[in-house]
Amino acid sequence: MNSALMLRRFICVNASATLSSVAPSPKKKPLIFLGSPQVSVTVLEALLDASSAPNSSFEVAGIVTQPPARRDRGRKVLPSPVAQYALEKGLPSDLIFSPEKAGDEAFLSTLRDLQPELCVTAAYGNILPTKFLSIPLHGTVNIHPSLLPLYRGAAPVQRALQDGVQKTGVSLAFTVRKLDAGAVIASKRFQVDDQIKAPELLSLLFSEGSKLLIRELPSIFDGSAKSKAVPQDDSEATLAPKDIGHFDLEKLIAPDEAWLSFDQEAFVLHNKVRAFAGWPGTRAKVLVLDDKSGQQNEVELKVITTRICQSTEVLNGEQDCVTFKKGSLVFPCGGGTALEVLEVQLPGKKAMDATAFWNGLRGQKLKKL
């Protein structure tokens, strides 16, 4: 199916569309799923698999996602990853809804006609108004990739890694009007490896969150989840804000935050590299000096993979000089620390390991800026 035809099918949803093809089976409880980026696909896949089981008591009666947007390098207008997955699975386009806002009256009218017993959100990316939350019989539940009330907000994984947390987790909670403040139905805790990056951790947490959801669905549908859910302690809440200028869920961090300052200590920079992997990445400016010609060029590097230098040896030479040791570029940092950079990328080039980059200097010196 070409992209134009796919988009025509996808965008054709409006309040006047017939509901006959999306009317839920009377034998199963209708559930509406809301999600947008790639990590949400894991949750939708789990719901579809569970709903197709012979003993399933529910069905996915509709999917709500962000409107099509310009994505990828070609900047083509494409449906969200959730919408693309749903279409690939053969779900009819009039089962997929993409309102600009979840409070649009035409959309809410259609949602009421579907009579959902439950709504499930996983990185949907749109504020749910009271009018929406009052529609599903058993409420709306959200998969949130943190141990609530810690890291409420749109970028919990990124901010947790930036803070260097050693433990995190995923929570299944009821959705209320206050941001990520609803009672917690269930949660799961994980140790955080000091090398894991945001995309990998996000994938892990949403995968585990989908398992929590499937496990807890019976108690949500029979109403017992509301009595066992634990209210959050607002006094312990922390926030994980996104960049206000970006609403795309894959671009939650401002590009201005991407720059590394080697005046900071190595552990701060290492955690930033892990947190901002994927988007927007982390960047550093270095100076390449040719002693023979006297020329010097400022170069921008995308810093992809790092580790904290454990050596207690005092760095030789000038404090601004970058050295090469055992497959890594060693950058002097604040507080007498050093950061080992293992993988970099030059503008317009493919990523390369530190050895290939260093060999490409052909004896020229490297200084941090």
Q: How far apart are CA 272 and CA 159, in angstroms?
A: 9
Q: How far apart are CA 34 and CA 42, in angstroms?
A: 12
Closest residue by Cα to residue 195 from 308, 279, 283: 308
Pairing of β 296-308 and β 184-191:
unpaired
Predicted pLDDT of residue 102: 95
Predicted pLDDT of residue 70: 80
Predicted pLDDT of residue 83: 97
Predicted pLDDT of residue 6: 40
Burial annotation 86-125 (CB, 10 A radius, 16+ → b, else e): bbeeebebbbbbbbeebebeebbebbeebebbbbbbbbbb
- Where the chain has pLDDT below 70, the residues are 1-26, 72-74, 242-252, 312-318
Predicted pLDDT of residue 17: 38
Burial annotation 298-322 (CB, 10 A radius, 16+ → b, else e): eeebbbbbbebbeeeeebeeeeebb
Predicted pLDDT of residue 292: 86
Q: How far is CA 42 from CA 45, 170, 173, 304, in A?
A: 5, 14, 18, 25
Other residues' Cβ atoms within 10 Å of the Cβ of residue 165: 17
